[in-house]
Amino acid sequence: MPYVPFLRWLGLSLVISLALLSACRIDVTSVVVDWDHDPGALIVEADTFIDPMSSQGDLNRIPDARVWGDGRIVWAEYRDDGSRVAWEGYLSEGAMTNLLQFIFEEGFFDWKDHYQPGDPLANSPFSYITVHMTDRSKRVSQYLEGAPVGFWRIYRRINQGVTDAHPLTLE
């Protein structure tokens, strides 16, 4: 039987390979993130709009989401009738750390600053995410399309807000 030596060799190779793989261990460590914990320090902001010029001139505009150093988060929720409700809540220290680690691990700080197709359509959506950490700051924007998939994962995560929130009221 000519296959017996081959099968023994294959079996022995498989056992050795599995033993080597089980002996290997990859240590996964979380990225250490640090940010300004001051309540007035804007750490993360995300927004989408159609006409950047009109939005910059609108003093009453609330971006889709903002997160400050003390964990305060304000985000807008769109209703079926097209109106928006602004919500306010607080992220815990751990939730802030997880959010910033998520942003870092998505590759945000390695992306280009701006994405758009070669021939964008007029009045297309413009979206951006800005992140300020102690050792780095970055803004990534997209006009219509082209940003990495992680851009929208981060955007959705920021816009989730928190469960213990209340409608934002201006005093």
Nearest-angstrom CA–CA distance, 142 and 127: 5
Give me the pLDDT at residue 24, please: 54
Cβ neighbour number for residue 67 with a 10 Å cutoff: 27
Nearest-angstrom CA–CA distance, 158 and 73: 9
Q: What's the longest Cα–Cα distance across the chain?
A: 89
Model pLDDT for residues 16-74, shown as the tens digit of each residue = 555 555 555 554 556 789 999 999 999 999 999 876 555 555 666 789 999 999 999 99
Provide the token pair at 28. Answer: 């996964």
Sequence-distant (6+) residues with CB within 8 A of 20 are: none
Pick from 105, 115, 164, 109: nearest CA to 131: 109
Please provide the size of the chain in residues.
Answer: 171
Specify whether the CB–CB gap between 76 and 123 falls below 8 A.
no
Give me the pLDDT at residue 122, please: 76
Nearest-angstrom CA–CA distance, 126 and 106: 21
Domains and CATH numbers, the chain: 42-167 (3.30.1560.10)
Model pLDDT for residues 104-157, shown as the tens digit of each residue = 999 999 999 999 888 777 778 899 999 999 999 999 999 888 999 999 999 999
Nearest-angstrom CA–CA distance, 143 and 97: 29
Answer whether residue 77 shows pLDDT above 70: yes
Answer whether residue 1 shows pLDDT above 60: no
Specify whether the CB–CB gap between 70 and 39 falls below 8 A.
yes
Nearest-angstrom CA–CA distance, 10 and 45: 56
